[in-house]
Structure 1
Amino acid sequence: MPKAEKIKINVKDRVEDNAIDLSLSELTEVPVREIASFKRVTILDLSNNKLMSLGKTFPTLTNITRLDLSRNQIKFLPEDFGNLRNLRHLDLYNNKLEHLPLSFGNLNKLSYLDLKGNPLTPALAKVVGLCLTAKECNTSARNTVKCLARMQEEVEKTKEKLQQEHDAQLEVLADVTNTEEAQKSKKAKKAKNKSKKTKSENASPKPNPNIKLTKSKVEGNSPSNASTKRKSSTALRTIFTFFMLLAINIFIIYVIMFKNPEIAEKLVEFIPHQYRDWILTKSEYFRLRVSDWIQVIRTPPGHN
């Protein structure tokens, strides 16, 4: 389909006081930049052209209070059409509109609206109503703006609710992720500590249970063992002293008794009293035995 040829017009020639009349100009696009250069203009007539849309920059013409877009082929209005907050009179008669943008609810000053001849949806057509008289057009403007404002508010609430639910889901997901990461970190740390402990146990010699048991027994019985050791030591010293004295006395008796009994008697006086009688008795018995042995030795064989 060939692209429609853009019609160039001199907007300045169409300006009269505070109004610009661009009707019947075969326009396919709105010369927004040229119109915006005339700050005092508040009335804009774009009727009877070939406009299918107004363009994204059209809502920047915020000074417009009266707008005539009738008898075009407009299928939709810009989403931010509600930025034209000073708009009081809007004529959209005989276009191809089915819907109105939610921002339409921001046109609080709108007092005249004509949407006849548009294929509006049944729900919107019911709200808009008829516009056969100025009063009906005024009612249509109020009802339409009010309805779109309510719809806009509901949509904003729904968006806010969805955003809150989305944020809550993100928080839950973040908590789950943090929990999983914490658990993984905890498990890794535990495994690391376990590995270090295992290496330490393998490196250090294992204690001998028998040694531990013996040590425990020794430590547990140390007082009684010490007492027993002391008693055993005393007994051994006593026995050793006894036998030493006995050996000395026997030697003295054996060497001296047969040579000089007087010296033997003097030596006996140095023997402890508790051993003296026993030693003397044994010494006498030993002396007699030795004497007998000597006599036997000295007696030649055959003289018995």
Structure 2
Amino acid sequence: MTPDGSKRPPDRHPSGTAQPSDLGTRAGPGPGARGMARDTPGTSKMRRMSYGQGEPPWDPWKPGSQQPQWGNQSTSDTPDWAALADASASRNKRRRLLLIVGGAVATVAVGTAVAIAVVSANSGSDGKPTNSLPGSADLPGGSTSAAEPSFDPTSAPPPLDPLEFISSAKKDKAALSPDTLFPGSQVTLNERVYTKHARSSTTDCASAVRGTLPKALTANGCTRVMRVTYTTKGGVAVTVGVAVFDTADDATKARKATDDKSILTSLPGSGIDPFCRTSVCRTTRNSVGRYAYFTLGGFSGGKDVTTKDTKVFTAGDDLAEYTFRQIHRRGESQASAAASK
């Protein structure tokens, strides 16, 4: 009883649970009163505690360290889950903020470094494009005093024309004789062998020719006539004659002045009887540069040549072509010598 005559309420633990002396008494209405058992006559039962008395329920699935504490426990030991959650969220937010800020700073730093590198690389160019080679210090074995290579524009000179050298006595200065124009003792042409025999050279052009040819040569300024005789199988003999003039125009005029009666005098020699003096023979005539050249082909025994004697025709054509090549080769050698100077 209290001093004022009222009943004293039962003592409770600080946690709000009833003392053992209160077990079995009726509980008055109040918070958490639902679920309370009533005493029945003749029976003594313990009063069942309700979860509404302010104590948290026990969870069988949690480990003991995480179970709520009953009895005389201080409320200050219970963690403030909301505060912990707020703190964790705050830490995560700060971490994300730091990552974002750090990434931005790193990006700015890299961009700044690249910009500095580009500016440094271009700082010596004065804003002008460069096309020079790297300095010699960057090249292995280079000399610091080496200058940039420079190349003068060059162009190959046009090739000299061999015909130009054999068209004028002023440029055609190479040695000239039957042996220089027709070297060797024999020549093979188109797989046919021709043996060289007699040879001669004279400045009396008219004495080396017959028919209408002396007039054609002397009238156009012939300075020399060279002759060489070749033989081949079948008793065929061919005399080749070359008339020399000062210019190509003179040689061309002399050739045009010839006809079928313009005949070269045959040149016999050791082992060769005179031929084509009274017999019918085959002749050719042509010119190149300042040279007019002729052939006279027949049989060394004095036999007349007919159209059926193809060996005579073939021999005359072979040696006429050979004469042309030898004269042209003379121009080639002089053009090559002049180009190398």
Whether the TM-score (by the shorter chain) exceeds 0.5 is no
TM class by shorter chain equals under 0.3
Structure with greater strand share of residues: 2
**Scaled by the length of structure 2, what TM-score is found?**
0.25
Structure with greater helix share of residues: 1
Larger relative CO (CA 8 A, sep 6+): 1 or 2?
2
**Scaled by the length of structure 1, what TM-score is found?**
0.27
